[in-house]
Amino acid sequence: MTSEAPRFAIDARDLHKTYAALGNAPEKQALKGVSLQVPVGSVFGLLGPNGAGKSTFINILAGLVIKTSGSVSIWGFDQDINPRMSRASIGVVPQELILDPFFTPGEALEIQAGLYGVPKKQRRTMELLSALGLADKAESYARSLSGGMRRRLLIAKALCHSPPVLILDEPTAGVDIELRRQMWDYVRELNDEGVTVVLTTHYLEEAEEMCDRIAIINHGTVIACEEKNTLMQRMDSKSAVIWPETPLTAIPDTLAAHEMLEVRLREDGALIVTYPKSRMQLGAILSEVHAAGIAVHDLSTEEAHLEDVFVAMTSGEAA
């Protein structure tokens, strides 16, 4: 590794990938000039709908797919000039549960570390298994592990050569809530120790909680790459949940006809009023509610969530 950390853990510039025509299928342009810079020490979210190009991008980083054009540097090592160090700087946890069923977790980690040339005295097999709650399974066959345990074993394998960059591709797919929480606690520990984490997930609440910077890719193109808080501000909407003194059975006509408000009625008789926060304040909303003859018992407000931003941007509705 370089003696000094680079500015970017991953630096991809104008990345293109075109898959050749196969049979009657035409060629497919999976990446169309993707440029992404992942700051060192960040938890970086890479989001996008199915088929957006996320897997192609990750596989290029891992050296599993050959790019058509562009450049990639990982931890300061250009993939074309120094492919060995570039690949050694990254650990990838794939979405698929790919494990050799005839090796124990201990053996799997020893073999993986050996493939990366890690000397036996520097291997962290039991340390990693303990950190991921698999110490008691060190001598069990991988085929006997549950889905959640197999997922954690993949994380251990990705970390066995102590890479400064960790890519998690849908790491909590099929993992129960308790194991998911344990996994994220460990990822936070890794990040606190300086490991840069790149996360792809369809659980957008996880990305909203974990990531400090997020990129959204769609149809092979980066449509956003910003600090999470900046990205969230793209949605100029806020919602007020209003509980009337007497539960409502219908939305008052004056509220339903208001051109700046989107009003929904919940099953419990409460109102959800969504409004443009740049043009209306909560006080104005309450004035409209009172004018409609509604006595307010309680209320709460909610900002837009990452899922709202994601859906709006990938459907072309964001500002």
pLDDT digits (tens, 9 = 90+) for 99-129: 888 899 999 999 999 999 999 999 999 999 9
pLDDT at 318 over 50: no
Instruction: List the helix and strand counts (H, then E) for the chain.
Output: 11, 14
Alpha-carbon distance of 214 to 45, in angstroms, equals: 4
Q: What are the C-alpha distances in Å from 75 to residues 87, 202, 235, 295? A: 10, 27, 34, 59
d(CA 134, CA 194): 23
Whole-angstrom distance, CA of residue 55 vs CA of residue 61: 10
What is the identity of the amino acid at 205?
E
CA distance 305 to 50: 20
Structure tokens at 278: 């740049």
Helical ranges in 44-194 per DSSP H: 54-61, 83-88, 105-115, 125-131, 147-159, 177-192
Closest CA to 215 of 122, 132, 313, 304: 313
Provide the pLDDT confidence category of residue 317 given band limits of 50, 70 and 90.
very low
CA gap 92, 80 in Å, rounded: 19
In DSSP terms, 19 is beta-bridged to 28
Structure tokens at 26: 């035409």
**What is the rounded distance in angstroms from the CA atom of residue 305 to the CA atom of residue 317?**
15
Q: pTM for the full model?
A: 0.81
Helix H segments across 33-92? 54-61, 83-88
**For residue 98, is pLDDT > 90?**
no
The whole-number average pLDDT for the span 280-304 is 90
- Domains of the chain from N-terminus onward: 8-232 (3.40.50.300), 238-303 (3.30.70.100)
Tens digit of pLDDT for each residue in 173-191? Answer: 767 787 788 888 889 999 9
**What pLDDT, on the 0 to 100 scale, is given for residue 180?**
81
State pLDDT tens for residues 3-28. 567 889 999 999 999 999 888 888 99
